[in-house]
Amino acid sequence: MEILVIALIPLSFLLLGAGFLVVAQVSGFVQSAFFNQRHNFSNMVIQQYMERITLAQGQLYQRKQELEVMSGKLSLSNQELGRLNDMKSKFLSMVVHDVRTPLASIKGFSELLVKKNLGEREAGYLKNIVSSTEQLGRLISDLTDLAMIEAGKLKMEKMIFNFPDLAKDILPGLSINAQNKGVELVVHDFPDGVLVDGDKFRLSQVFMNLVNNAIKFTPAGKRVEVSFRREGKYMNTSVKDSGIGIHPSETRKIFEKFYQARHQKDEKLRKQGWGLGLCIAQEVVRAHKGDIGAASPGLGKGSTFWFKIPAGV
Ligand code: ADP
């Protein structure tokens, strides 16, 4: 019995070893078949991808050629557009120049006539002529500025000056405009000495435009507030009114040339302007490396316009 057990042990090891060998071989075979299959499958997928890439490359090349044709056409129309724009700017400055001279003589002669002893009716007519020529004069100067902006010729004549002094010089004239309209003009936080490096004439144009607009768009009996504030390296001037307000969708658009707010229904006020003042103001402020903007809580709720320029040079 013991001998049988002893003989069976190596036999069973032998059988086990053989079993392992067979299993290993079968599994190797299965694995290699599987591997081959996977390999073939990967090859197929790669092949498909290659085909797709080749196709995409072909399409890309075609698009590139189409794009080149289109960009050629675009550059031609750009040149044409540039030429037309130049013509328009030249035409504009010619018209402006030709209108300015006769306008100056109408204004001059009307002012002479005002000094004469005229009847009440004639004096009324003359007042109309003077105010219309003034209005035309403003349009002409705005158009001149626009022509210069478009030709890239709006040059700033900069010098270092005290900004509050400039505001002090302008405010009395603006107060008269406010009084004439029955609007109260209040000035807050007038600063002491703030030096800026800028074009005095152009910056007063910006300031006057914002305050005159505020007076224009505010009904009699209400108020316009002007305030000055140092904001780090900037001098911020803001003009808050209690007038007709601006629709939120238009607070940026009103800085575009010839744009007048469409949500405002007052035709009479619209006819008093041409939508150029803010566009020019924006150019001037940008030429001083500053910023300008407007905010309003909505129609009928007033607006605040502000501009800031570097200060403390
Ligand atoms: P203009 O006043 O001659 O039309 P602007 O460029 O100065 O031209 O202003 C453009 C438009 O912005 C105005 O027509 C008006 O619709 C709007 N706007 C400007 N200022 C104010 C303000 N203070 N309150 C309400 N709307 C304003």
3-class state of residue 263 by DSSP: coil
Residue-wise burial string across 270-305, b where 16 or more C-beta atoms lie within 10 A, e elsewhere? eeebbbbbbbbbbbbbebbebebebebeebeebbbb
Q: What is the dihedral of CA 245, 251, 254, 256, to 10 degrees?
A: 180
Tell whether 148 and 108 lie within a shared domain: yes
Tell whether 193 and 175 lie within a shared domain: yes
Residue with CA nearest ligand 1 atom 19: 213
Report yes or no: 310 and 196 within 8 Å, Cβ to Cβ: yes
pLDDT in tens, 97-117: 888 888 888 888 888 888 888
Show which of 126, 154, 182 is a domain's final residue.
Answer: 154
Domain boundaries, position 53: 1-154
- Mapping DSSP onto H, E and C, the string for 134-149 reads HHHHHHHHHHHHHHHH
Tell whether 147 and 263 lie within a shared domain: no
pLDDT in tens, 210-262: 999 999 999 999 999 999 999 999 999 999 999 999 999 999 999 999 999 99
Q: The domain that contains 203 carries what CATH number? A: 3.30.565.10
Tell whether 305 and 178 lie within a shared domain: yes
Report yes or no: 215 and 181 within 8 Å, Cβ to Cβ: yes
Tell whether 149 and 1 lie within a shared domain: yes
CA of 209 to the centre of ligand 1 (A): 9
Show which of 154, 183, 215 is a domain's final residue.
Answer: 154
Confidence at 15, pLDDT banded by 50, 70, 90: very low
Q: The domain that contains 140 carries what CATH number? A: 1.10.287.130
Tell whether 57 and 116 lie within a shared domain: yes
Tell whether 170 and 143 lie within a shared domain: no
Tell whether 135 and 122 lie within a shared domain: yes
Atom nearest to 243 CA in ligand 1: 24
Tell whether 139 and 58 lie within a shared domain: yes
Residue 147 or 234, more confident? 234
CA of 108 to the centre of ligand 1 (A): 30
Tell whether 163 and 66 lie within a shared domain: no
CA of 180 to the centre of ligand 1 (A): 19
Tell whether 25 and 83 lie within a shared domain: yes
Tell whether 114 and 164 lie within a shared domain: no
Show which of 154, 189, 219 is a domain's final residue.
Answer: 154
Q: Output the CA–CA distances (angstroms, integers) from residue 250 to 261, 267, 312, in the order listed.
A: 6, 17, 33
> How many separate domains does the chain show?
2
Report yes or no: 212 and 174 within 8 Å, Cβ to Cβ: yes
